[in-house]
Amino acid sequence: MRKEDLNLSLIVSCQPVPDGAMDGAIFVSGFARSALAAGARALRIESSTYVAAVRAAVDAPIIGIVKRDLDDSPVRITPFVVDVEALADAGADIIAFDATDRPRPATIEALLAAIKARGLLSMADCSCLDDARRALAAGVDFVGTTMSGYVSGPEPVDPDIALIAAMRQLTPYVIAEGRIRTPEQAAEAVCAGACAVVVGSAITRTEHVTSWFHDAVSAAFSQREAATLAIDIGGTKTLAALVRGTQILAEATILTSREAGPDAWLAAMAEQTSSWKGQYEQVGIAATGLIREGCWSALNPATLAIPDDYPLVAQASKLFGKPAFAVNDAQAAAWGEYRFGAGNNEDTVFLTISTGIGGGVVVNGRPLLGLAGHFGLLRAPTDGQSPLEDVVSGRWMAAKATASGHPIEAPEIFEQARRGETWAQAIIARSAARVALLCRDIQMMFAPKRIVMGGGIGLAPGYLEAVRAQLTELPHHLAPHLVAASLGPRAGIIGASDLAGRHR
Protein backbone atom coordinates (compact mmCIF):
# COMPACT_ATOMS: atom_id res chain seq x y z
CA MET A 1 0.00 0.00 0.00
CA ARG A 2 0.99 3.67 -0.37
CA LYS A 3 1.19 6.23 2.41
CA GLU A 4 -1.53 8.24 0.67
CA ASP A 5 -3.97 5.36 1.11
CA LEU A 6 -4.23 6.18 4.81
CA ASN A 7 -5.12 9.85 4.31
CA LEU A 8 -8.45 11.05 5.73
CA SER A 9 -8.93 7.82 7.66
CA LEU A 10 -10.55 6.74 10.86
CA ILE A 11 -8.49 3.89 12.26
CA VAL A 12 -10.00 1.70 14.95
CA SER A 13 -7.64 0.02 17.39
CA CYS A 14 -9.10 -3.42 18.15
CA GLN A 15 -7.14 -4.31 21.27
CA PRO A 16 -9.04 -6.10 24.02
CA VAL A 17 -8.09 -5.75 27.68
CA PRO A 18 -5.48 -8.49 28.26
CA ASP A 19 -7.10 -11.55 29.84
CA GLY A 20 -10.46 -9.77 29.68
CA ALA A 21 -13.72 -11.28 28.51
CA MET A 22 -13.11 -10.06 24.93
CA ASP A 23 -9.51 -11.30 24.71
CA GLY A 24 -10.04 -13.82 21.93
CA ALA A 25 -9.54 -13.97 18.16
CA ILE A 26 -13.27 -14.30 17.49
CA PHE A 27 -13.98 -11.06 19.37
CA VAL A 28 -11.09 -9.11 17.83
CA SER A 29 -12.16 -10.15 14.34
CA GLY A 30 -15.74 -9.20 15.18
CA PHE A 31 -14.65 -5.76 16.40
CA ALA A 32 -12.65 -5.29 13.20
CA ARG A 33 -15.52 -6.23 10.89
CA SER A 34 -17.97 -4.04 12.84
CA ALA A 35 -15.63 -1.05 12.73
CA LEU A 36 -15.10 -1.34 8.98
CA ALA A 37 -18.83 -1.74 8.37
CA ALA A 38 -19.44 1.52 10.25
CA GLY A 39 -16.90 3.54 8.24
CA ALA A 40 -13.41 2.86 9.60
CA ARG A 41 -10.82 2.53 6.83
CA ALA A 42 -7.99 0.84 8.71
CA LEU A 43 -7.30 -1.14 11.89
CA ARG A 44 -4.63 -1.27 14.56
CA ILE A 45 -4.16 -4.80 15.90
CA GLU A 46 -1.90 -6.16 18.65
CA SER A 47 0.00 -9.47 18.33
CA SER A 48 0.81 -11.55 15.28
CA THR A 49 -1.90 -14.03 16.29
CA TYR A 50 -4.65 -11.42 16.16
CA VAL A 51 -3.20 -9.78 13.03
CA ALA A 52 -3.43 -13.15 11.27
CA ALA A 53 -7.01 -13.69 12.48
CA VAL A 54 -8.12 -10.26 11.33
CA ARG A 55 -6.26 -10.52 8.02
CA ALA A 56 -8.20 -13.70 7.29
CA ALA A 57 -11.45 -11.80 7.85
CA VAL A 58 -10.87 -8.39 6.17
CA ASP A 59 -8.98 -6.72 3.33
CA ALA A 60 -8.50 -3.31 5.02
CA PRO A 61 -5.06 -1.94 5.95
CA ILE A 62 -3.76 -3.25 9.27
CA ILE A 63 -1.28 -1.50 11.54
CA GLY A 64 0.36 -4.30 13.50
CA ILE A 65 2.07 -4.06 16.88
CA VAL A 66 3.39 -6.40 19.53
CA LYS A 67 3.30 -5.45 23.20
CA ARG A 68 5.84 -6.85 25.65
CA ASP A 69 6.65 -6.10 29.30
CA LEU A 70 10.43 -6.22 29.57
CA ASP A 71 12.59 -6.27 32.68
CA ASP A 72 15.45 -4.28 31.16
CA SER A 73 13.60 -1.71 29.02
CA PRO A 74 10.51 0.51 29.33
CA VAL A 75 9.82 0.08 25.62
CA ARG A 76 6.70 -2.08 25.17
CA ILE A 77 5.52 -1.59 21.57
CA THR A 78 7.28 -3.82 19.00
CA PRO A 79 10.64 -3.81 20.77
CA PHE A 80 12.37 -6.60 18.77
CA VAL A 81 13.21 -7.21 15.13
CA VAL A 82 11.66 -10.66 15.52
CA ASP A 83 8.37 -8.93 16.35
CA VAL A 84 8.53 -7.03 13.08
CA GLU A 85 9.08 -10.27 11.17
CA ALA A 86 6.19 -12.03 12.94
CA LEU A 87 3.79 -9.17 12.18
CA ALA A 88 4.89 -9.11 8.54
CA ASP A 89 4.30 -12.85 8.21
CA ALA A 90 0.84 -12.44 9.80
CA GLY A 91 -0.28 -9.92 7.17
CA ALA A 92 0.28 -6.42 8.61
CA ASP A 93 0.58 -3.58 6.07
CA ILE A 94 2.10 -1.08 8.49
CA ILE A 95 4.21 -1.91 11.53
CA ALA A 96 4.25 0.50 14.46
CA PHE A 97 6.94 0.66 17.11
CA ASP A 98 7.89 2.74 20.15
CA ALA A 99 10.10 5.57 18.91
CA THR A 100 10.82 7.22 22.28
CA ASP A 101 14.36 8.09 23.33
CA ARG A 102 14.67 5.42 26.03
CA PRO A 103 16.82 2.31 26.52
CA ARG A 104 15.67 -0.23 23.96
CA PRO A 105 16.46 -3.80 22.81
CA ALA A 106 16.72 -2.87 19.13
CA THR A 107 17.50 0.49 17.56
CA ILE A 108 14.97 2.40 15.51
CA GLU A 109 17.25 1.96 12.51
CA ALA A 110 17.28 -1.82 12.95
CA LEU A 111 13.49 -1.99 13.22
CA LEU A 112 13.07 0.22 10.15
CA ALA A 113 15.51 -1.91 8.15
CA ALA A 114 13.48 -5.02 8.96
CA ILE A 115 10.21 -3.30 8.01
CA LYS A 116 11.58 -2.00 4.73
CA ALA A 117 13.10 -5.39 3.92
CA ARG A 118 9.52 -6.77 3.90
CA GLY A 119 8.28 -3.91 1.70
CA LEU A 120 5.97 -2.57 4.43
CA LEU A 121 5.26 0.89 5.80
CA SER A 122 6.35 2.05 9.24
CA MET A 123 4.76 4.11 12.03
CA ALA A 124 6.75 5.69 14.87
CA ASP A 125 4.83 5.92 18.15
CA CYS A 126 6.22 9.16 19.59
CA SER A 127 5.98 10.97 22.91
CA CYS A 128 7.24 14.38 21.81
CA LEU A 129 8.38 16.43 18.84
CA ASP A 130 12.03 15.35 19.21
CA ASP A 131 10.96 11.69 18.90
CA ALA A 132 9.22 12.56 15.64
CA ARG A 133 12.25 14.44 14.29
CA ARG A 134 14.57 11.49 14.98
CA ALA A 135 12.14 8.98 13.48
CA LEU A 136 11.63 11.02 10.34
CA ALA A 137 15.38 11.48 9.95
CA ALA A 138 15.73 7.69 10.16
CA GLY A 139 13.19 7.25 7.34
CA VAL A 140 9.89 6.40 9.05
CA ASP A 141 6.70 6.79 6.98
CA PHE A 142 4.19 7.93 9.66
CA VAL A 143 4.62 9.57 13.04
CA GLY A 144 1.97 9.16 15.73
CA THR A 145 1.23 10.81 19.07
CA THR A 146 0.65 7.40 20.68
CA MET A 147 3.20 7.72 23.49
CA SER A 148 2.47 11.33 24.50
CA GLY A 149 1.78 11.39 28.24
CA TYR A 150 2.99 7.83 28.83
CA VAL A 151 6.74 8.19 29.38
CA SER A 152 6.81 10.21 32.64
CA GLY A 153 4.50 11.80 35.18
CA PRO A 154 0.77 11.25 35.64
CA GLU A 155 -1.25 10.20 32.60
CA PRO A 156 -3.17 13.15 31.11
CA VAL A 157 -6.90 12.98 30.46
CA ASP A 158 -7.13 14.68 27.07
CA PRO A 159 -5.37 13.98 23.75
CA ASP A 160 -2.25 15.96 22.89
CA ILE A 161 -3.70 18.22 20.21
CA ALA A 162 -0.72 20.60 20.40
CA LEU A 163 1.70 17.79 19.54
CA ILE A 164 -0.42 16.83 16.52
CA ALA A 165 -0.20 20.39 15.23
CA ALA A 166 3.55 20.58 15.88
CA MET A 167 4.20 17.27 14.10
CA ARG A 168 2.16 18.49 11.14
CA GLN A 169 4.84 21.15 10.61
CA LEU A 170 7.34 18.33 10.05
CA THR A 171 5.30 15.97 7.85
CA PRO A 172 1.79 15.62 6.43
CA TYR A 173 1.73 11.99 7.60
CA VAL A 174 0.72 12.45 11.23
CA ILE A 175 -1.52 9.85 12.89
CA ALA A 176 -3.35 11.11 15.97
CA GLU A 177 -3.56 8.48 18.69
CA GLY A 178 -3.96 8.44 22.44
CA ARG A 179 -6.92 9.30 24.72
CA ILE A 180 -9.26 10.23 21.87
CA ARG A 181 -12.55 9.32 23.50
CA THR A 182 -15.20 11.50 21.88
CA PRO A 183 -16.18 12.44 18.31
CA GLU A 184 -15.40 16.05 19.19
CA GLN A 185 -11.83 15.17 20.17
CA ALA A 186 -11.38 13.17 16.96
CA ALA A 187 -12.58 16.15 14.92
CA GLU A 188 -10.23 18.44 16.84
CA ALA A 189 -7.33 16.14 15.95
CA VAL A 190 -8.26 16.41 12.27
CA CYS A 191 -8.41 20.21 12.53
CA ALA A 192 -4.93 20.18 14.08
CA GLY A 193 -3.57 18.49 10.95
CA ALA A 194 -3.75 14.72 11.44
CA CYS A 195 -3.98 12.65 8.26
CA ALA A 196 -5.65 9.84 10.20
CA VAL A 197 -7.13 9.37 13.67
CA VAL A 198 -6.92 6.25 15.82
CA VAL A 199 -9.70 5.53 18.31
CA GLY A 200 -9.34 2.51 20.54
CA SER A 201 -10.70 2.13 24.08
CA ALA A 202 -13.75 4.29 23.40
CA ILE A 203 -14.88 1.79 20.77
CA THR A 204 -13.41 -1.62 21.49
CA ARG A 205 -12.61 -1.82 25.20
CA THR A 206 -15.96 -2.41 26.84
CA GLU A 207 -14.36 -2.49 30.28
CA HIS A 208 -12.88 0.99 29.89
CA VAL A 209 -15.98 2.61 28.43
CA THR A 210 -18.15 1.02 31.10
CA SER A 211 -15.84 2.33 33.84
CA TRP A 212 -16.08 5.88 32.43
CA PHE A 213 -19.85 5.75 32.49
CA HIS A 214 -19.86 4.04 35.88
CA ASP A 215 -17.70 6.77 37.41
CA ALA A 216 -19.86 9.53 35.93
CA VAL A 217 -23.12 7.92 36.93
CA SER A 218 -21.89 7.11 40.44
CA ALA A 219 -20.73 10.69 40.95
CA ALA A 220 -24.06 12.00 39.70
CA PHE A 221 -26.01 9.67 41.97
CA SER A 222 -23.83 10.68 44.90
CA GLN A 223 -24.35 14.35 44.11
CA ARG A 224 -28.07 13.86 43.76
CA GLU A 225 -28.40 12.05 47.07
CA ALA A 226 -26.02 14.23 49.09
CA ALA A 227 -27.43 17.38 50.66
CA THR A 228 -25.68 20.73 50.52
CA LEU A 229 -25.66 23.55 53.05
CA ALA A 230 -26.44 26.50 50.77
CA ILE A 231 -26.01 30.06 52.06
CA ASP A 232 -27.13 33.26 50.31
CA ILE A 233 -25.49 36.32 51.89
CA GLY A 234 -27.36 39.49 50.99
CA GLY A 235 -27.16 43.12 51.99
CA THR A 236 -30.03 42.91 54.49
CA LYS A 237 -30.45 39.22 55.29
CA THR A 238 -28.73 35.88 54.95
CA LEU A 239 -30.64 32.79 53.94
CA ALA A 240 -29.39 29.27 54.66
CA ALA A 241 -30.98 26.09 53.42
CA LEU A 242 -30.36 22.38 53.42
CA VAL A 243 -30.74 21.53 49.72
CA ARG A 244 -30.93 18.30 47.76
CA GLY A 245 -31.39 18.95 44.03
CA THR A 246 -34.23 21.48 43.97
CA GLN A 247 -35.72 20.27 47.23
CA ILE A 248 -35.41 22.57 50.24
CA LEU A 249 -35.19 20.26 53.26
CA ALA A 250 -34.86 23.03 55.85
CA GLU A 251 -34.10 26.73 55.89
CA ALA A 252 -33.23 29.56 58.23
CA THR A 253 -32.93 33.33 57.87
CA ILE A 254 -30.98 35.85 59.93
CA LEU A 255 -30.50 39.57 59.48
CA THR A 256 -27.14 40.59 58.06
CA SER A 257 -25.59 42.96 60.59
CA ARG A 258 -23.74 45.27 58.22
CA GLU A 259 -21.25 46.42 60.86
CA ALA A 260 -20.33 42.94 62.06
CA GLY A 261 -18.27 41.76 59.05
CA PRO A 262 -17.95 38.44 57.24
CA ASP A 263 -16.39 36.48 60.13
CA ALA A 264 -19.40 37.30 62.28
CA TRP A 265 -21.88 36.61 59.45
CA LEU A 266 -20.47 33.13 58.91
CA ALA A 267 -20.27 32.41 62.64
CA ALA A 268 -23.90 33.45 63.11
CA MET A 269 -25.00 31.18 60.28
CA ALA A 270 -22.93 28.29 61.67
CA GLU A 271 -24.70 28.69 65.01
CA GLN A 272 -28.10 28.98 63.36
CA THR A 273 -27.56 25.77 61.36
CA SER A 274 -25.68 23.76 64.00
CA SER A 275 -28.51 21.22 64.21
CA TRP A 276 -27.94 20.33 60.53
CA LYS A 277 -24.41 18.99 61.09
CA GLY A 278 -23.97 15.53 59.64
CA GLN A 279 -26.74 16.10 57.10
CA TYR A 280 -24.69 17.79 54.36
CA GLU A 281 -21.50 16.98 52.43
CA GLN A 282 -20.50 20.40 51.11
CA VAL A 283 -21.23 24.10 51.49
CA GLY A 284 -22.32 26.35 48.61
CA ILE A 285 -22.27 30.10 49.14
CA ALA A 286 -23.93 32.77 47.00
CA ALA A 287 -22.87 36.29 47.94
CA THR A 288 -23.31 39.78 46.62
CA GLY A 289 -20.11 41.23 45.17
CA LEU A 290 -17.09 39.73 43.41
CA ILE A 291 -15.93 36.16 44.07
CA ARG A 292 -12.56 35.37 42.57
CA GLU A 293 -10.49 32.25 43.37
CA GLY A 294 -12.43 31.76 46.59
CA CYS A 295 -11.90 35.32 47.80
CA TRP A 296 -14.65 37.89 48.26
CA SER A 297 -14.52 41.62 47.50
CA ALA A 298 -17.13 44.36 47.35
CA LEU A 299 -18.16 45.83 44.02
CA ASN A 300 -20.55 48.23 45.70
CA PRO A 301 -19.50 48.87 49.33
CA ALA A 302 -22.85 50.57 49.91
CA THR A 303 -24.46 47.11 49.68
CA LEU A 304 -22.01 45.34 51.98
CA ALA A 305 -18.64 46.62 53.16
CA ILE A 306 -16.45 43.56 52.59
CA PRO A 307 -12.66 43.63 53.10
CA ASP A 308 -10.89 43.16 49.77
CA ASP A 309 -10.05 39.53 49.01
CA TYR A 310 -11.69 38.14 52.13
CA PRO A 311 -10.91 34.35 52.08
CA LEU A 312 -14.54 33.29 52.00
CA VAL A 313 -14.07 29.71 50.82
CA ALA A 314 -11.21 28.98 53.22
CA GLN A 315 -13.07 30.45 56.20
CA ALA A 316 -16.30 28.62 55.38
CA SER A 317 -14.49 25.30 54.90
CA LYS A 318 -12.77 25.72 58.25
CA LEU A 319 -15.91 26.80 60.09
CA PHE A 320 -18.31 24.19 58.70
CA GLY A 321 -15.78 21.38 58.35
CA LYS A 322 -16.80 20.59 54.76
CA PRO A 323 -15.56 21.55 51.28
CA ALA A 324 -16.95 24.95 50.29
CA PHE A 325 -17.58 26.72 47.01
CA ALA A 326 -18.55 30.38 46.60
CA VAL A 327 -20.07 32.30 43.70
CA ASN A 328 -21.71 35.68 43.12
CA ASP A 329 -25.39 35.53 44.07
CA ALA A 330 -26.70 36.48 40.62
CA GLN A 331 -24.35 33.98 38.97
CA ALA A 332 -25.65 31.32 41.36
CA ALA A 333 -29.23 32.24 40.45
CA ALA A 334 -28.30 32.12 36.76
CA TRP A 335 -27.03 28.57 37.19
CA GLY A 336 -30.11 27.59 39.19
CA GLU A 337 -32.43 28.89 36.47
CA TYR A 338 -30.31 27.27 33.76
CA ARG A 339 -30.29 23.84 35.41
CA PHE A 340 -33.70 23.68 37.04
CA GLY A 341 -35.77 26.66 35.93
CA ALA A 342 -36.59 28.85 32.98
CA GLY A 343 -33.15 28.41 31.33
CA ASN A 344 -34.17 24.93 30.20
CA ASN A 345 -30.50 23.78 30.08
CA GLU A 346 -29.81 26.07 27.10
CA ASP A 347 -27.36 28.98 26.80
CA THR A 348 -28.81 31.48 29.25
CA VAL A 349 -28.24 35.00 30.46
CA PHE A 350 -29.96 35.81 33.75
CA LEU A 351 -30.90 39.34 34.78
CA THR A 352 -32.13 40.19 38.24
CA ILE A 353 -33.59 43.69 38.42
CA SER A 354 -34.39 44.85 41.92
CA THR A 355 -32.78 47.52 44.09
CA GLY A 356 -29.86 47.09 41.69
CA ILE A 357 -29.10 44.96 38.62
CA GLY A 358 -27.25 41.66 38.80
CA GLY A 359 -26.67 39.00 36.23
CA GLY A 360 -25.08 35.74 35.24
CA VAL A 361 -24.11 33.99 32.02
CA VAL A 362 -24.14 30.26 31.25
CA VAL A 363 -22.61 29.29 27.89
CA ASN A 364 -21.91 25.79 26.59
CA GLY A 365 -23.03 24.33 29.89
CA ARG A 366 -20.57 26.39 31.95
CA PRO A 367 -21.20 29.43 34.16
CA LEU A 368 -18.99 32.46 33.51
CA LEU A 369 -17.68 33.50 36.90
CA GLY A 370 -15.66 36.42 38.30
CA LEU A 371 -16.75 39.76 36.86
CA ALA A 372 -18.89 38.23 34.13
CA GLY A 373 -22.55 39.19 34.27
CA HIS A 374 -22.32 42.33 36.39
CA PHE A 375 -24.47 44.19 33.89
CA GLY A 376 -25.68 46.74 36.42
CA LEU A 377 -22.19 48.23 36.56
CA LEU A 378 -22.02 48.96 32.82
CA ARG A 379 -21.46 52.67 32.14
CA ALA A 380 -21.71 52.92 28.37
CA PRO A 381 -25.52 53.37 28.42
CA THR A 382 -25.07 56.46 30.62
CA ASP A 383 -22.08 57.84 28.68
CA GLY A 384 -19.90 56.94 31.64
CA GLN A 385 -21.79 59.12 34.09
CA SER A 386 -23.00 56.35 36.39
CA PRO A 387 -23.64 52.61 36.53
CA LEU A 388 -26.62 51.45 34.49
CA GLU A 389 -28.45 50.28 37.61
CA ASP A 390 -28.52 53.88 38.83
CA VAL A 391 -30.96 54.75 36.02
CA VAL A 392 -33.01 51.54 35.94
CA SER A 393 -33.41 49.89 39.31
CA GLY A 394 -35.88 50.15 42.13
CA ARG A 395 -33.77 52.80 43.87
CA TRP A 396 -33.86 54.95 40.75
CA MET A 397 -37.63 54.47 40.39
CA ALA A 398 -38.21 55.56 43.97
CA ALA A 399 -35.97 58.61 43.49
CA LYS A 400 -37.82 59.62 40.31
CA ALA A 401 -41.18 59.21 42.05
CA THR A 402 -40.02 61.39 44.95
CA ALA A 403 -38.76 64.03 42.53
CA SER A 404 -42.19 64.15 40.91
CA GLY A 405 -43.93 64.65 44.25
CA HIS A 406 -44.74 61.02 45.01
CA PRO A 407 -42.39 59.74 47.77
CA ILE A 408 -43.13 56.02 47.40
CA GLU A 409 -41.13 52.84 46.77
CA ALA A 410 -41.08 50.70 43.61
CA PRO A 411 -43.95 48.32 44.52
CA GLU A 412 -46.29 51.30 45.01
CA ILE A 413 -45.13 52.80 41.71
CA PHE A 414 -46.29 49.66 39.90
CA GLU A 415 -49.59 49.81 41.77
CA GLN A 416 -50.09 53.44 40.72
CA ALA A 417 -49.25 52.52 37.13
CA ARG A 418 -51.94 49.84 37.18
CA ARG A 419 -54.38 52.50 38.35
CA GLY A 420 -53.57 54.59 35.28
CA GLU A 421 -51.23 57.21 36.81
CA THR A 422 -49.23 58.47 33.85
CA TRP A 423 -46.26 59.65 35.92
CA ALA A 424 -45.82 56.09 37.29
CA GLN A 425 -46.24 54.57 33.84
CA ALA A 426 -43.58 56.93 32.49
CA ILE A 427 -41.05 55.87 35.14
CA ILE A 428 -41.62 52.18 34.42
CA ALA A 429 -41.47 52.74 30.65
CA ARG A 430 -38.14 54.58 30.90
CA SER A 431 -36.62 51.80 33.02
CA ALA A 432 -37.99 49.13 30.68
CA ALA A 433 -36.58 50.92 27.63
CA ARG A 434 -33.09 50.93 29.12
CA VAL A 435 -33.32 47.27 30.06
CA ALA A 436 -34.49 46.49 26.52
CA LEU A 437 -31.33 48.14 25.15
CA LEU A 438 -29.29 46.09 27.60
CA CYS A 439 -31.02 42.91 26.35
CA ARG A 440 -30.23 43.85 22.74
CA ASP A 441 -26.56 44.27 23.64
CA ILE A 442 -26.51 41.00 25.57
CA GLN A 443 -28.00 39.19 22.57
CA MET A 444 -25.28 40.58 20.32
CA MET A 445 -22.52 39.66 22.80
CA PHE A 446 -23.56 36.16 23.89
CA ALA A 447 -26.38 35.07 21.54
CA PRO A 448 -28.12 33.18 24.36
CA LYS A 449 -31.13 31.00 23.64
CA ARG A 450 -33.00 32.96 26.27
CA ILE A 451 -32.64 35.86 28.67
CA VAL A 452 -34.25 34.98 31.99
CA MET A 453 -35.48 37.94 34.01
CA GLY A 454 -35.97 37.88 37.75
CA GLY A 455 -35.92 40.18 40.75
CA GLY A 456 -38.60 42.33 42.37
CA ILE A 457 -38.69 44.78 39.45
CA GLY A 458 -38.07 42.23 36.70
CA LEU A 459 -41.00 40.11 37.85
CA ALA A 460 -43.31 42.98 38.78
CA PRO A 461 -46.65 42.82 36.91
CA GLY A 462 -46.30 44.32 33.45
CA TYR A 463 -42.54 44.99 33.53
CA LEU A 464 -41.40 42.09 31.35
CA GLU A 465 -44.14 42.93 28.85
CA ALA A 466 -42.94 46.56 28.82
CA VAL A 467 -39.40 45.40 27.99
CA ARG A 468 -40.66 43.08 25.26
CA ALA A 469 -42.70 45.91 23.74
CA GLN A 470 -39.46 47.84 23.15
CA LEU A 471 -38.08 44.95 21.07
CA THR A 472 -40.98 44.17 18.74
CA GLU A 473 -39.45 45.91 15.73
CA LEU A 474 -36.24 43.87 15.80
CA PRO A 475 -35.78 41.20 13.09
CA HIS A 476 -36.41 37.71 14.40
CA HIS A 477 -32.76 36.67 14.16
CA LEU A 478 -31.67 39.63 16.30
CA ALA A 479 -34.45 39.69 18.88
CA PRO A 480 -33.68 38.24 22.33
CA HIS A 481 -36.04 35.64 23.75
CA LEU A 482 -37.14 36.98 27.14
CA VAL A 483 -38.69 34.70 29.75
CA ALA A 484 -39.64 35.13 33.40
CA ALA A 485 -37.53 33.42 36.06
CA SER A 486 -39.29 30.47 37.66
CA LEU A 487 -37.37 29.62 40.84
CA GLY A 488 -38.11 32.86 42.68
CA PRO A 489 -35.93 33.91 45.64
CA ARG A 490 -34.50 30.39 46.03
CA ALA A 491 -32.73 30.38 42.65
CA GLY A 492 -29.48 31.48 44.31
CA ILE A 493 -29.33 28.78 46.95
CA ILE A 494 -30.40 26.09 44.48
CA GLY A 495 -27.73 27.22 42.01
CA ALA A 496 -25.04 27.52 44.69
CA SER A 497 -25.93 24.05 46.00
CA ASP A 498 -25.62 22.45 42.57
CA LEU A 499 -22.34 24.21 41.77
CA ALA A 500 -20.87 23.21 45.13
CA GLY A 501 -21.68 19.56 44.39
CA ARG A 502 -19.98 19.82 41.01
CA HIS A 503 -16.81 21.37 42.47
CA ARG A 504 -16.20 18.82 45.21
Domain membership of residue 221 (yes or no) is no
Instruction: Identify whether 337 is part of a domain.
Output: no
The answer to whether the CB of 423 falls within 8 A of the CB of 412 is: no
Query: Does residue 218 lie within any of the structural domains?
Result: no
Tell whether 42 and 179 lie within a shared domain.
Answer: yes
Q: How confident is the model at residue 504 (pLDDT cuts 50, 70, 90)?
A: confident
Q: Same domain, yes or no, for 154 and 257? A: no
Flag whether pLDDT at 224 surpasses 80. Answer: no
The pLDDT of residue 222 is: 66
- Distance of alpha carbon 77 from its chain centroid, rounded? 34
Instruction: Return the higher-pLDDT residue of 43 and 258.
Output: 43
Q: Do 92 and 236 have their domain in common?
A: no
pLDDT of residue 288: 87
Question: Can you give the pLDDT at residue 153?
Answer: 85
CATH number of the domain encompassing residue 23? 3.20.20.70
Give the mean pLDDT of the chain.
94
Is 220 within a domain? no
Domain final residue pick, 211, 243, 271: 211
pLDDT value at 206 more than 80: yes
**443 has pLDDT over 80:** yes
Domain final residue pick, 211, 240, 258: 211
285 found inside a domain = yes
Eight-class DSSP state of 234: -
Same domain? For 385 and 352 the reply is yes
Domain-embedded: residue 33: yes
% the chain with pLDDT above 70:
99
Q: Can you give the CATH number for the domain in which 255 is found?
A: 3.30.420.40
**Ramachandran region, residue 407 (left: φ > 0; alpha: ψ -120 to 50; beta: rest):** beta
Counting the structural domains of the chain, the total is 3
The string of pLDDT tens digits covering residues 142-187 is 999 999 999 988 889 999 999 999 999 999 999 999 999 999 999 9
- 197 Cβ contact partners less than 8 Å away, ≥ 6 residues apart: 9, 10, 11, 175, 176, 177, 180, 186, 189, 190
Residue 502 pLDDT greater than 90, yes or no: no
Distance between CA atoms of 84 and 442, rounded to whole angstroms? 61
What pLDDT, in 10s, does the model give residues 446-491? 999 999 999 999 999 999 999 999 999 999 889 999 999 999 888 9
Burial class (CB in 10 A: 0-12, 13-18, 19+), 130: exposed
Question: Any idea what DSSP says for residue 155?
Answer: P
- pLDDT average, residue stretch 494-499: 94
Residue 386 scores a pLDDT above 80:
yes
Domain check: are 364 and 277 in the same one? no
Same domain, 473 and 381: yes
In this prediction, residue 257 carries a pLDDT of 84
Whether residue 470 is found in the same domain as residue 453: yes
pLDDT at 302 over 80: no
Query: Collapsing DSSP states into helix, strand and coil, what is residue 451?
Result: strand
pLDDT digits (tens, 9 = 90+) for 54-93: 999 999 999 999 999 999 999 999 999 999 999 999 999 9
**Is residue 119 located within the same domain as residue 34?**
yes
Has residue 364 got a pLDDT over 90?
yes
368 and 323 in one domain?
no
69 in any annotated domain? yes
Instruction: Please report the pLDDT score of residue 429 as a whole number.
Output: 96
Over range 289-318, report the average pLDDT.
89
Containing domain of residue 107, as a range?
3-211
Phi, psi of 341 (to 5 degrees): -125, -135
**Does residue 351 contact residue 451 with C-beta atoms inside 8 Å?**
yes
pLDDT digits (tens, 9 = 90+) for 409-433: 999 999 999 999 999 999 999 999 9
Q: What is the pLDDT of residue 223?
A: 63
Shared domain check, 398 and 316: no
Q: Please give the torsion angle defined by the CA atoms of residues 79, 85, 88 and 93, in that order, rounded to the nearest 10 degrees.
A: 40
Residue 296 and residue 160 share a domain: no
| Inside any domain, residue 326 | yes
Q: Which of 184, 211, 238 is the last residue of a domain?
A: 211
Does 279 lie in the same domain as 426? Answer: no
Is the pLDDT confidence value at 130 over 80? yes
The secondary structure of residue 67, as a DSSP letter, is B
- Does pTM top 0.85 for this prediction? no
Let me know: does 489 contact 282? Beta carbons within 8 Å: no
